[in-house]
Structure 1
């Protein structure tokens, strides 16, 4: 099936359902969850600041993440015409020009919402919006690299929202403990993003995108992803033990052991089972994040 993503020039609008599909609500959960982890890890009860909690969750999920999905789909419309022609832009259900307008408009809206979160929230929003465009858009287009692309997304999906939630609620720079665990879970998310690239191998290869599944092959890329996901969690477990949090360390260990079991299944057929792992293994991963956030709440240096 051949699809020209620049067809349908007469269409100027799109159904709400197609626009919602463009924003991919299923991808909003990780940054929203990470923001909540940041709030919990700060150890500060929101009190009268609950509107900041709600605004931050909306900003991390529907606004910034939704914007990044629209921008990525617009920048990837030719790749998607090969990999997933049923997506909103290549299928013609959302005109390319409208998708670009949505991405730009939501970028502006995200910055406005970030401004309401104070200097820390606004600064983090600026970084997040800039990274979203740097990942997808020419001439930077960091997604061409199987190392830099997933690393940037992992940072923006897990590390930056976690840092932001802690900074906004504490009205200042987060503690060393918060920054360290947020960074470790962001590094581990590199592996999650590598598995996400498995669905686009054919188009990535055709368009010169050097994702790890394209460059290394599915089997090797899956093993790299598993190691990258596991090592930061192992370090978190070790640190929790050093910090006198053995029960929390045990809970994170249980989550990691569950991931090991899922990884064994994944490695039987990496290309076919990557979506399954993203549902099962990633759920265990983010559960460990919240356990760690609870463990370090209120710890300060």
Structure 2
């Protein structure tokens, strides 16, 4: 660390230092796990409107949101310091608001807190369900660390990083939330599988934001390997197959109205995908207002044209997928009540 960085870190007041530590945990990413947690709970059909169950739900959300997801983001910033100096120089560590030692304290504390809550919840519910919850949380924290940290640094290769993200955000969240209140429902497992592949497709496109830095540092993101158009095509094929598989499952579960909702969502998605594939830089520009003035605070904003196109698509795709996901989880839960 150079003298200027050390001086910037030490000169911050307590309030600014706390804000920098929270920023290092990247709060905007916490909400990414909340829908899966909520649907996992809904799909169990077993949560009761009691203070006890509300407390369990709160601990679950804190464990996977600010602590679990925050841990992975803090670790990522720590080990990506040199890359962030190029791609995101305003982040807490490269900007000098937090020292590297303080960053270690940051992710060390949230790691300990996440493990403590996980162990407490696992002991509280006990049995196989407790084991599932503790194994899921431990797996998520391990993935969160080796995703960014050497020697594994899974993020250097899209064929390793995307499945790791899919498992962390799309599978263990669903299973943990379900296990907290009931035995694992087979339909919930299928929803987790769908979220696994949806997360893979989204992380593939999210790499647009760091394409320049990835290329210079030797990271093998799909956009570096095959270019923007084929990256979009690959992600869109995965997404469309997820919606098609979701429709088939809904039909098999007897949720026929839901199946029609999913098919309509698939058609809408394809109509948005076509202009983006044709022009990866400016496609679906009619959605730019939603990113600039509306959802941008939740999903982020970008100066990279291809990443901005991904954000425009994400507004439509995520809303459609979330609506169908919540409806499915609610119907599954009602089946087991």
Question: Is TM-score (shorter-chain normalized) higher than 0.5?
Answer: yes
- Measured in 2, the distance between the counterparts of 1:216 and 1:162 equals 32
The equivalent residue for 1:147 is 159
Deviation of 1:56 after TM superposition, in Å, equals 0.7
For residue 138 of structure 1, give the secondary structure of its aligned residue in structure 2. coil
Partner secondary structure for residue 9 of structure 1: helix
CA–CA separation in structure 1 for the residues paired with 2:280 and 2:180? 42
TM-score, normalization: structure 2?
0.82
Q: How far does residue 298 in structure 1 lie from its aligned partner after superposition? A: 5.3
Task: Tell which deviates more after alignment, 243-252 or 198-207.
Answer: 243-252
Partner in structure 1 of residue 17 of structure 2: 15
| 1:269 equivalent in structure 2 | 280
Please say which of residues 68-77 and 17-26 is displaced more in the overlay. 17-26
Instruction: Please name the residue that 1:79 is paired with.
Output: 83
- Residue aligning to 2:265: 255
Q: Deviation of residue 259 (structure 1)?
A: 2.3
Cα RMSD for the two superposed structures: 2.0
Counterpart check, 1:164 vs 2:166: no
Q: Which has the larger radius of gyration?
A: 2
Q: How many residues align?
A: 295
- Do 2:45 and 2:333's aligned partners in 1 also have CA atoms closer than 8 Å? yes
Query: What's the CA shift string for 1:87-133, capped at 9, x where partnerless?
Result: 22111122222122211211111011111221232221111101100
Alignment of 1:1-301 (within 5 A): 8-10=5-7, 11-12=9-10, 15-48=17-50, 49-118=53-122, 119=130, 120-170=132-182, 172=183, 174-267=184-277, 268-269=279-280, 271=306, 272-297=308-333
CA distance in 2, matches of 1:6, 1:175: 56
Give unmatched runs, 5+ long, in structure 2: 123-129, 282-305
Structure 1, unaligned runs of 5 or more? none
Q: 1:233 to 1:5 in 2, by over 3 A?
A: farther
Moved more, 124-133 or 18-27: 18-27
Counterparts of 1:224 and 1:93 in 2: how far apart (Å)?
A: 39
TM-superposed CA distance for 1:260, in Å, is: 2.1
- Residue 130 of structure 1: SS of its match in structure 2? helix
